[in-house]
Structure 1
Amino acid sequence: MTVPEHVVERAWQIAQPILNSGRNQRRAKAKGFAFKLFHEFDNPAEEGSKAHIIKKIFAWGETSAWIGPPGSLKSSLLADAAVAVASGSDWFGYKSKGPVSVVYFALERADLVERRIWATASRRGITGRLPIAVVPGIVDMTKPGSVEKIVATIREAEVEFLEDEEHEGDYVGLAIFDTFAKLVAAGGGDEDKASHQGAVFTSIQRVKDQLGGGGPHVALIGHTGKDESRGARGSNAFLGDADLMVTLSGEGVKTATVTKANDAPEGPLFSFKGEVCELGADEDGDPITVNIVSSEEVSAMPTGTEPKLSTNQRVMYRLLAEAGPSGLSAEAWNELAKENGITAKQRHYEARMALKDKGLVREYAGVWRING
């Protein structure tokens, strides 16, 4: 006898929850690692499959690295981000998905961090309270015990935030560590050793896991090396462990450039300037000042202007553009230039540096790419 199709379908609908219940019980008793089957994967096309705090920049459960030389305003920029996230404000044109709380681990100059955040909030016209906590002092992320202490700190801050009715922030969505070098050095670690950096990133992941739900976004403030074009100081493990790496460069106008991203395009993110904010006067009558991110909208290059390029520069730029997002090593770029009539090695170097100075190309970890 052939069973009607609708009967089979109904039987399957009844059996499915029973099968799922048995499967879940079996997995709960399993001794191996947790896993997810293909049909249980989130559909990336569905809205909300990746939860953002600030669209395209800060996502729940991810880690970003913000690196630059001294004077690049990296700490000022992340103080500005803290205020934007806690107030639910858009940030450099990138959409906020609503306010969440922030914990800023200030491993150095916590007093300066507090002044920056206070001045930034004031400049934004925020007069009420914000769900931001600053944690002063050294944090040793190379020791397992630090994970429990960081988790406890974040949870205790959340209790304070949830009980405060004067703001909308709730759970901590952004944890900032300033600086990464101090996280490594606190336990006698060395930034040049991948194993020491790896210990810190392992602790960061454990913090996220213990907080549940993927954990907050962790933003690390770091330094570039002596050769800024080669990226973060120390071992390149830093590059591999971050979901998003942003390099800050420029003199008067700073440009934040994505130099590595797991699922976003590389290239310039936004540009900004600093401004000196006066907070009053000290006991001697001298002004108390702090450098924060200016509210003035700026761009790395004035609209409507294009840099003048020599013939060699135009050829070199075209060759790199044709290489696409994967870019070229200096050696591969030189070889292509030779094939296109630029035979002198010195000409390659001069054209490459000229393009870099004009903000048209960048190098990271030995690979050259066009900006934009």
Structure 2
Amino acid sequence: MCRLVQRYRSQMIVFHDLSLSVIQSRKGHREMIRHSKIPKARASQTAGHSPVRGCPAVWLARWQTTEKSFAVNFGAPRGGSISRRSRRQTSDQADRRTGEMTRIQDDDQDIPDWEASIRPVADHTPSLEWNYAMKGWMLRAETSLLYGPSNVGKSALVCNLGSCIVAGRPCFGARVTPGLVVHVAPEAPASVRDRIHSCDIDPATKQNYLVCGEALDLSNFRAVASFIEFLKGVMRDTGEDIVLIVFDTLARSIGLLDENCAASMTQVVQTAEWIARSLNTHVMLVHHTGKDADRGGRGSSALRAAVDTEICLKPGKTENSVSVVQDKQRTQPKLAAVYFRIEKTVLGMDEDGEERTTAHAVETSAPTTGKPPGPEKMENSRDMAVRIALQTRGMLRDLAPAPFKTAELVATLPPELFANVAPENLNRTINRILSDLARADNPIVSGSAGVWKLTPSDARLTRKS
């Protein structure tokens, strides 16, 4: 394409039905790419090319017609086709300049009111209200990203949060603002409805949980504007505020955009902020992790940088345990992680007489780590075990007065308390504990060098007095 423009830069080529009708010089070529988003395709290819990422489908048929007329009028340079290197250079230039965005924007954008936007701090009065959707976790008029591996329980957690909001009950111990919830779930709307239907909440409040089965393209300005106006009408009709809007998932809500493109993801979050601020609601984007779950959400890191809150779901070490961790909070202090597990709920019997179930997120406490006790606690346990062994020996008349060796006492101690002590160091460890007991103000044992003897009770009483 670049070679064609260079070869015929003095020519004026009319492109019918394109937003920019004239290409004149390289500047004209760049402007055409910026306005009409030319796909990555051969100029000489006249039919059958596949849709290109970042190019709206409406342009494909028009571009084919343009390609054909271009080749007929001017021919293809040097052998009838543009080189692969030229196509790649043109494609890279188009990607850099457009960011592969398909959001419809007016050329004449409104100029910001700088006088109203730039104000001295002295005129500011801090607000003491959080305006939260879920206190300590999500604020209204802000955005969040909830991400985790596939099948970890993201939708189940969202349904649990949404049911708490419509019912006005705490979620993981945090207060919520009661109101409407809009769950945009084009992947599995029936599954979301099943989960909310089976929730243990008042049937009347279930009317406040709205499930949308159609995807909203956050790159389509007009679609987003109509979505906002529709939800404003819902709030007027119901008299309730929308507290939470969930896009489940992000991949189904960005149209033909590339989630690896920083400019595209920044624009998506800006659109989510527009929705959040227009409706005074919290907008949550549900996202997946990549192949390496430890690297965070899939795609461009600009997504994490742009949202206000980032929440990560991590599978626990115990069965069905999932941790909910705040990775980022822009305006609130981070809270400790919370936990839930997935449980099935029976909806009824299917056509074969078998149980038809759905999944629910059930809040749980922090699971036990199963780690061994710390050094101080372990030392106290060993000391107590030696004391008990000595007292037991003192109760036996045959053993009480006789001296004993350290190895004899070791045989009576719980082996699990000394599992991490090397066998050659075991006697030394017990000797140290016995030495400390022998130096006490009221010793229960005496001796040294691995030979010990219990102190008679009357001697202990005499020493104590």
TM-score by length of 2: 0.52
**Contact 2:143-2:276 within 8 A present in 1 as well:** no
Residue 142 (structure 2) aligns with: 62
**Contact 2:289-2:298 within 8 A present in 1 as well:** yes
Question: Which amino acid in 2 is paired with 1:69?
Answer: P
Query: Partners in 1 of 2:261 and 2:160 — Cα distance?
Result: 31
Matched, 1:136 2:213: yes
**Contact 1:147-1:206 within 8 A present in 2 as well:** no
Q: Residue deviations 1:259-286, cap 9 Å, x none? A: 1111344474201101001101222323
Residue 151 (structure 2) aligns with: 71
Report the Cα offset of residue 218 of structure 1: 0.6
**Contact 1:245-1:260 within 8 A present in 2 as well:** yes
1:114 to 193, 209, 216: 193
Query: Partners in 2 of 1:174 and 1:114 — Cα distance?
Result: 16
1:32 to 114, 136, 161: 114
Report the Cα offset of residue 306 of structure 1: 4.2
Q: What SS does the corresponding residue of 1:202 show, helix, strand or coil?
A: helix
**Contact 1:106-1:137 within 8 A present in 2 as well:** yes
Q: Residue deviations 1:264-315, cap 9 Å, x none? A: 44474201101001101222323221111125x231335xx645689xxxxx
Question: Which amino acid in 2 is paired with 1:94?
Answer: A
Query: Partners in 2 of 1:227 and 1:307 — Cα distance?
Result: 30
Report the CA distance shift for 1:194/1:54 in structure 2 as closer, same or farther (over 3 A).
same
Query: Partners in 2 of 1:118 and 1:307 — Cα distance?
Result: 44
Query: Partners in 2 of 1:265 and 1:226 — Cα distance?
Result: 30
Query: Partners in 2 of 1:79 and 1:56 — Cα distance?
Result: 19
Matched, 1:183 2:260: no
Query: Partners in 2 of 1:267 and 1:129 — Cα distance?
Result: 29
Q: What SS does the corresponding residue of 2:114 show, helix, strand or coil?
A: coil
Q: Which structure has the bigger radius of gyration?
A: 2
Report the CA distance shift for 1:144/1:283 in structure 2 as closer, same or farther (over 3 A).
same
Residue 442 (structure 2) aligns with: none
Q: What SS does the corresponding residue of 2:116 show, helix, strand or coil?
A: coil
**Contact 2:322-2:340 within 8 A present in 1 as well:** yes
- 1:18-29 mapped onto 2 (5 Å cutoff): none
Question: Which amino acid in 2 is paired with 1:72?
Answer: V
Residue 153 (structure 1) aligns with: 230
Q: What SS does the corresponding residue of 1:222 show, helix, strand or coil?
A: strand
**Contact 1:103-1:154 within 8 A present in 2 as well:** no
Residue 290 (structure 2) aligns with: 225
Report the Cα offset of residue 156 of structure 1: 2.9
1:99 to 136, 157, 178: 178
Residue 313 (structure 2) aligns with: 248
Residue 275 (structure 2) aligns with: 207
Residue 243 (structure 2) aligns with: 173
Question: Which amino acid in 2 is paired with 1:177?
Answer: F
Residue 348 (structure 1) aligns with: none
**Contact 1:92-1:270 within 8 A present in 2 as well:** yes
Question: Which amino acid in 2 is paired with 1:191?
Answer: E
Report the CA distance shift for 1:206/1:108 in structure 2 as closer, same or farther (over 3 A).
same
Query: Partners in 1 of 2:325 and 2:361 — Cα distance?
Result: 16
Q: Residue deviations 1:161-195, cap 9 Å, x none? A: 32xxxxxxx111111110111112x2x11111112
Query: Partners in 2 of 1:128 and 1:144 — Cα distance?
Result: 34
Query: Partners in 2 of 1:106 and 1:229 — Cα distance?
Result: 26
Query: Partners in 1 of 2:350 and 2:189 — Cα distance?
Result: 18
Residue 347 (structure 1) aligns with: none
Q: What SS does the corresponding residue of 1:240 show, helix, strand or coil?
A: helix
Root mean square deviation of aligned Cα: 2.2
Query: Partners in 2 of 1:33 and 1:281 — Cα distance?
Result: 64
Query: Partners in 1 of 2:331 and 2:278 — Cα distance?
Result: 25
- 1:275-354 mapped onto 2 (5 Å cutoff): 275-295=343-363, 297-301=364-368, 306-307=371-372
Question: Which amino acid in 2 is paired with 1:41?
Answer: H
- 1:3-22 mapped onto 2 (5 Å cutoff): none
Query: Partners in 1 of 2:276 and 2:371 — Cα distance?
Result: 45
Report the Cα offset of residue 114 of structure 1: 0.8
Tell me: higher relative CO, structure 1 or 2? Use CA pairs within 8 A at least 6 residues apart. 1
Q: Residue deviations 1:323-359, cap 9 Å, x none? A: xxxxxxxxxxxxxxxxxxxxxxxxxxxxxxxxxxxxx
**Contact 1:107-1:182 within 8 A present in 2 as well:** yes
Residue 203 (structure 2) aligns with: 127
Q: What SS does the corresponding residue of 1:210 show, helix, strand or coil?
A: helix
**Contact 1:100-1:171 within 8 A present in 2 as well:** yes
Worse-superposed segment, 149-158 or 172-181? 149-158
Query: Partners in 2 of 1:208 and 1:53 — Cα distance?
Result: 12
Extract unaligned runs of 5+ from structure 2.
Answer: 1-111, 376-465
**Contact 2:136-2:334 within 8 A present in 1 as well:** no
Query: Partners in 2 of 1:287 and 1:259 — Cα distance?
Result: 38
TM-score by length of 1: 0.65
Residue 407 (structure 2) aligns with: none
Residue 314 (structure 1) aligns with: none
Q: What SS does the corresponding residue of 1:279 show, helix, strand or coil?
A: strand
Q: What SS does the corresponding residue of 1:204 show, helix, strand or coil?
A: helix
Report the CA distance shift for 1:243/1:156 in structure 2 as closer, same or farther (over 3 A).
same
**Contact 2:346-2:356 within 8 A present in 1 as well:** yes
Q: What SS does the corresponding residue of 1:294 show, helix, strand or coil?
A: strand
Report the Cα offset of residue 242 of structure 1: 1.3
**Contact 1:273-1:298 within 8 A present in 2 as well:** no
